[in-house]
Structure formats: structure tokens, C-alpha cells
């Protein structure tokens, strides 16, 4: 049997998948939330690396335009206000829990 990762043995993978299946939903959600935050931070840092002379506002706008297919577009006014209210890095990334709560409130 081939594993999902080249550096993991089939037995280790079975154990890891078993642990993940047994984990409570809150633990699984915590993992997804953490990974989402890390990926957003990495994306922001990459944009900053590729555009070293860009302002925080420009970096934020590039991030939003890069991710608009996955999340609802943030209004330019709120983005500008958020960036201007911060004195430095990092730009706050969207917390998946906040986004999901907002969606749930709209459905209610």
C-alpha cells in the first residue's frame, strides 16, 4: 500500500489516520483553523517578499485579490481603514471561526 507521504511508513500512517478519525470535532476544527491561519500568514509574507516596496495597503489588496475566489471580497473602504489603523506588520488575517460565525448568523 502506498502512503500519502513518502517519509511515512504505512503503519505510522494507519496510526495517524486512526487518531484523526477518533479525534473530537473540536480538535479537528482547531487543526483546520490553525492551518488556515498559517497559510494566510505565509501568503502575506510571500506577497511582501515578491513586492518589497509595496505598502501594507497594497499588500493587503494583493492578498484579497489573490484569495477572492475562496473568500468573499472585503470592501476597499474597510480594508483601507484596517490597514491604516495598524502601525506595522502583520496584517490581521481572517479567522475561519469568525467567518463561519458570520455565515451561521446570516443563515439563522
Residue carrying the nine cell digits 499588500: 59
Q: Is residue 40 part of a domain?
A: yes
Q: What are phi and psi of 75, to 5 degrees?
A: -65, 145
Per-residue pLDDT tens digits for 68-105: 554 444 455 565 566 666 555 445 555 667 667 777 77
* Structural domain harbouring 69: 10-107
Q: Specify if 3 maps to a domain.
A: no
Note whether residue 66 is domain-resident: yes
pTM score, whole prediction: 0.52
The reply to whether 5 falls in a domain is no
Question: Is 95 domain-assigned?
Answer: yes
Cα radius of gyration rounded to whole Å, the chain:
18
Residue 2 within any structural domain of the chain: no
pLDDT tens column, 7-55: 889 999 999 999 999 999 998 888 888 888 888 888 888 989 999 999 8
Q: Is residue 1, in this structure, part of any structural domain at all?
A: no
In a domain? residue 78: yes
Domain count, the chain: 1
Per-residue pLDDT, averaged over 46-69, amounts to: 80
What is the residue-wise DSSP string for the chain? ---SSTTS-HHHHHHHHHHHHHS-HHHHHHHHHHHHHHHHHHHHHHHHHH-TT--HHHHHHHHHHHHTTTSPPPPHHHHHHHHHH-SSSPPPPPPHHHHHHHHHHHH-
Amino acid at each position: 500500500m502506498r502512503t500519502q507521504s513518502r517519509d511515512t511508513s504505512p503503519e505510522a500512517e494507519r496510526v495517524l489516520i486512526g487518531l484523526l478519525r477518533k479525534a473530537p470535532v473540536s480538535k479537528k476544527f482547531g487543526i483546520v483553523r490553525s492551518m488556515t491561519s498559517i497559510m494566510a500568514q505565509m501568503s502575506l509574507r510571500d506577497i511582501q517578499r515578491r513586492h518589497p516596496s509595496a505598502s501594507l495597503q497594497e499588500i493587503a489588496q494583493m492578498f484579497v485579490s489573490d484569495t477572492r475566489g475562496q473568500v468573499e471580497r472585503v470592501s476597499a473602504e474597510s480594508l483601507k481603514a484596517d490597514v491604516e489603523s495598524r502601525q506595522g506588520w502583520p496584517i490581521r488575517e481572517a479567522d475561519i471561526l469568525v467567518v463561519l460565525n458570520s455565515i451561521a448568523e446570516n443563515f439563522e
